[in-house]
Amino acid sequence: MILKKQRVYSYKKKVTVFFLFFLFLNVIIPNTVFSISIKQEEELSKEFLESVFKHLVIIKDPHVVNYINSVGNKLVAALPPQPFKYHFYVIKQDVYNAFAGPGANIFINSGLIEAMETEEELAGILGHEIAHAFCRHISLRIKKAKKTNLTTLAGLAAGILLGIGGSADAASAVIVGSVAAGQSYALAYSRENERQADQIGFELIISAGYDGTGLVKVLKKIRDKNWFGPEQIPTYLTTHPATKNRIINISTWLENSKNKIKKKKIDSFRFKMVQTKISAEYGDKNIALDKFSKAVSNDPDNVVANYGQALVLARTDKKGESIKYMKKVLEKMAFNPYVLKDTGKIYFSDGQYKKALECFKGASIMLSSESECNFYIGRSFEALGQLDKAIKLYQKSILKSPENISAYYFLGQASGQKGNMRDAHFYLGLYYKKKYDYKNALFHFKRGMKYSKNDPEIKQELKNLKKMQVLKQI
């Protein structure tokens, strides 16, 4: 027993030394090695995120976001102190892709998550991308690209990472005006980058309690997708080279490490519920309907299948049928706040506002730290004609989550209905600003000034627009 503990301690010590070594290579060595400083990368990160958010749909559903972040942060916990906070995003796109942007922003496509079978696979791909961010590989590629303008670099980075050779529409939209598409390959990772990310990612994965097989399985899925033809080649293959060799290397590491890996129990049910949410609400509607209809037919009591069927039926405006399937889910998961919230959404869209309100209130007790429940309680009060309550709930939602864009819109609308035109235009201005629609934002801020002259908040927003140099674009 003592010998076993010593081996575990020795292994943990090796992992620590391993990360400290890479920390020395990537953080302690002067930033001239990377050509851009941490501060410059932070600025680049802001420009990069704006490019991504403008051209792609990011899934903001807390059920999905919280889960992806919980898996990602479990892996990040094994790293030494970092210069950036890690953020994880799911892109609504049926393309096999995942990438690490500047400033430790990690993206994964919904299509790749749908193709997975277990949380092991999700952890595998996230661990690899976290390792790219940890090594600051994007900074190295930027240095080689020899560009200096951050806006140009942001467009270039977004273009290559969003998909040269794969799903090119969004990527081309970002790249045009930045650099020629051929030059953008300068940001594709080298084989050395991939090997380093695989090594560090592998250590992260097993340190977090996974057995490491997930990375091999998901890479095989990506490689196999290549067999369908050039027009369907996964974007991942164009930015992450040598997939075949990487699979062989990782398999060897797995074989050599099998005696020291201590796998923890993984909640596979939670993965399946989130994956179902993604397929049913954000995937191809017809494919999802066929998939879940067959699943329910084969196993009528399957909770996950009924959950998917309920969500996809709600998308097809069959609210009565949808509620029937959701009730079957609630029989076994009455205290699951996400199921309660989804049930409330279906009742709300069916015009059953009182029932919706009950569901949202129940979910909010268990999700007290989330803003979305407050937002939907506000929507329910507004639908029931209780505008004062609705306004308070929208304000509460914004305080908890300033990035809940929809809350600004409905707060503006409700304020207008109450005759408070200053707040109506102010919050609508914030709504459009957050959507990068600066023309409409400017319009509403100027109208708001007519109702409240020299208003300090509105004046500050107008100054912010000028500072962002967006007025030239209007």
* C-alpha distances in Å from residue 322, one per residue of 155, 228, 313, 315: 42, 35, 5, 9
Query: Model confidence at 239, in pLDDT bands (50, 70, 90)?
Result: low
pLDDT at 182: 36
pLDDT in tens, 140-197: 766 665 544 555 555 555 554 554 333 444 444 333 333 333 333 445 567 778 888 8
HEC secondary structure over 417-462 = HCCCHHHHHHHHHHHHHHCCCHHHHHHHHHHHHHHCCCCHHHHHHH
pLDDT at 48: 81
pLDDT at 181: 34
Query: How large is the average pLDDT for residues 13-29?
Result: 40
pLDDT at 248: 85
Query: How large is the average pLDDT for residues 88-116?
Result: 91
Give the predicted TM-score (pTM) of the model. Answer: 0.81
- 380 in Cβ contact with 348 (< 8 Å): yes
> Does 259 score more than 80 pLDDT?
no
pLDDT at 165: 33
pLDDT at 273: 97
pLDDT at 3: 38
> Does 23 score more than 50 pLDDT?
no
Higher pLDDT, 464 or 75: 75
Percentage of the chain with pLDDT > 90? 51
Which of 35-39, 127-131, 264-268 is most confident? Answer: 127-131
Widest pairwise Cα distance in the chain: 77
Neighbours of 428 (CB within 10 A): 24
pLDDT at 16: 42
pLDDT at 469: 56
Adjacent-strand bridge partners of 222: none
**Lowest mean pLDDT across 11-20, 22-31, 62-71:** 22-31
| DSSP sequence for 402-414 | TT-HHHHHHHHHH
Higher pLDDT, 383 or 371: 383
φ/ψ of residue 402, rounded to 5? -60, -15
**Lowest mean pLDDT across 91-95, 252-256, 386-390:** 252-256
pLDDT at 156: 53
382 three-class SS: helix
Query: CA torsion 279→280→282→287, rounded to 10°?
Result: 70
**Lowest mean pLDDT across 238-252, 254-268, 418-432:** 238-252
pLDDT at 12: 43
pLDDT at 54: 80
Please report the domains of the chain, with CATH numbers, ordered by start residue. Answer: 2-257 (no CATH), 268-473 (1.25.40.10)
pLDDT in tens, 400-422: 989 899 999 999 999 999 999 99
> Does 433 score more than 90 pLDDT?
yes
> Does 349 score more than 60 pLDDT?
yes
Query: Model confidence at 298, in pLDDT bands (50, 70, 90)?
Result: very high
Among residues 73, 136, 80, the alpha carbon closest in space to that of 104 is found at 136
Structure-token pair, residue 109: 């496509």
> Does 15 score more than 70 pLDDT?
no
Identify the helix (H) or strand (E) that includes residue 59. strand 58-59
Query: Model confidence at 241, in pLDDT bands (50, 70, 90)?
Result: low
Single-letter amino acid code for the residue at 185: Y
Query: How large is the average pLDDT for residues 312-329?
Result: 95
How far apart CA 99 and CA 174 sit, in angstroms, is 16
pLDDT in tens, 321-342: 999 999 999 999 999 999 999 9
Percentage of the chain with pLDDT > 70? 77
pLDDT at 27: 37
Higher pLDDT, 225 or 446: 446
Query: Model confidence at 136, in pLDDT bands (50, 70, 90)?
Result: confident
- Beta strand residue intervals within 93-201, DSSP E: 98-101, 105-109
